[in-house]
Amino acid sequence: MLGEWAVELRQLHYFVTLAEELHCGRAAAREHVVPWALSQQIQRLERELGVVLVERNTHHVRLTRPGSVLLTQARGLLGGVERAVIATQRADSSAAVARVAIGDASLDSMPQVLRHVQYNNPGLVIHRIEASVPEQYRMLHEARLDIGVGRATQAPAGVASEVFRHDALGVLLAGTHRLAHGDSVAVARLAGELLLFAEPAHAPEFNEFVLQMCAAAGFRPRRFHGSAQSVRAAAELVGQQRCVLLVPRSCDLLMRGIRWLPLVDPVVRYPWSLLWRNGDDSGPTRAVLDGARALSRELGWLRADNESAPDMASGRVAVGGHER
């Protein structure tokens, strides 16, 4: 409850998510609820405040002027609540907390880092957050995140970054695809394929990397006209032979009938960076940064020869090159 209004923090959180996505289905997916439940909470918020916050129909969602005002205020309020919770937890020296983004749940770089960090810092409480890079920038700015992960070319002012892994980039193919019978795929051979790109609002930095790679190879990629909310969902489209998908070797996805092959001519490596707020020298942040650097050195993640082509047998394979 806030003052005289029966406004719940959950409703404000749902509203901010909808305002960022401008799509009820995507917002509901982020909040792990069904779309009608999210819409119901937004409608209750509008009734309580007595204003229309979003205009929505079957084609679009758009913020009204009151909605734009509330978005700014709600972000500040939610950020303040989050900071208050973290400050309260950190007031107890036995409850050090680090909030760390792992990117897509299929990507294994940050989970490996966090396992290393947790082993060496058993008293550290780590909250793992699945979020896109643009969303991580917002969360860092609002102090709702301590460490992010992603390519840092579009990092805003106030965000520091450091590359900790050069990750071999490869192509995900159906096992029966014409390119799936070798040990690698030349970049130029992607020229005739339908490539599934990430949604621009979710991974602009990855799309930019792919476009630059294709341009350097002398072609403009053919885009698959569709989208997927996760690597796993995208892999389903690959399995149906509707498109191919570029993913780094660290993608740890187990699916039958799909192969991952490294790109060659040239070998392509995707740069993963740690992202954090400039000036954040807190103990939990230092623990994660130091742990990532140590693991990177131990595994040779920044060496030019750190990624050999994985042994991808036909049938049930892990995209990341190993089964678990």
Strand partners for 171: 246, 261
Helix pair angle (9-21, 65-91), 10° resolution? 120
For position 6, what pLDDT does the model report? Answer: 61
Tens-place pLDDT, residues 94-147: 568 999 999 888 889 999 999 999 999 998 999 999 889 999 999 999 899 999
Q: How many residues in the chain? A: 324
- Summarize the confidence of residues 48-61 as an average pLDDT: 84
200 pLDDT above the threshold of 80: yes
Q: How far apart are CA 197 and CA 232, in angstroms?
A: 14
Give the chain's mean pLDDT: 85
The arithmetic mean of pLDDT across residues 263-273, rounded, is 95
Query: Mean pLDDT, to the nearest integer, of 48-52?
Result: 90
What's this model's pTM, rounded to 2 decimal places?
Answer: 0.68
Vertex 259, ends 250 and 236: CA angle to 5°? 90
Which residues are CB-contacts of 134 (< 8 A; sequence separation ≥ 6)?
154, 201, 202, 204
pLDDT tens for each residue of 4-24:
456 788 889 899 988 888 888
Rama region for 217: left / alpha / beta (φ>0; ψ in -120 to 50; rest): alpha
The total of other beta-carbon atoms located within 10 Å of residue 262's CB is 22
The half-sphere exposure of 229 on its side-chain side, counting CA atoms within 13 A, is 12
- Which residues make beta-bridge pairs with 160? 276
- Residue with the larger pLDDT of the pair 276 and 83: 276
**Of residues 197, 216, 217, the one with CA closest to residue 207:** 197
157-168 pLDDT, tens digit per residue, is 999 999 999 999
pLDDT for 324 beyond 60: no
Query: Greater confidence, 68 or 59?
Result: 68
Q: What pLDDT score was predicted for residue 86? A: 67
What are 66-86's pLDDT values in tens digits? 998 998 888 888 887 877 776
Q: What does the pLDDT read at residue 7? A: 75
How far apart are alpha carbons 2 and 8 in whole angstroms?
7
For residue 273, give the amino acid letter.
S
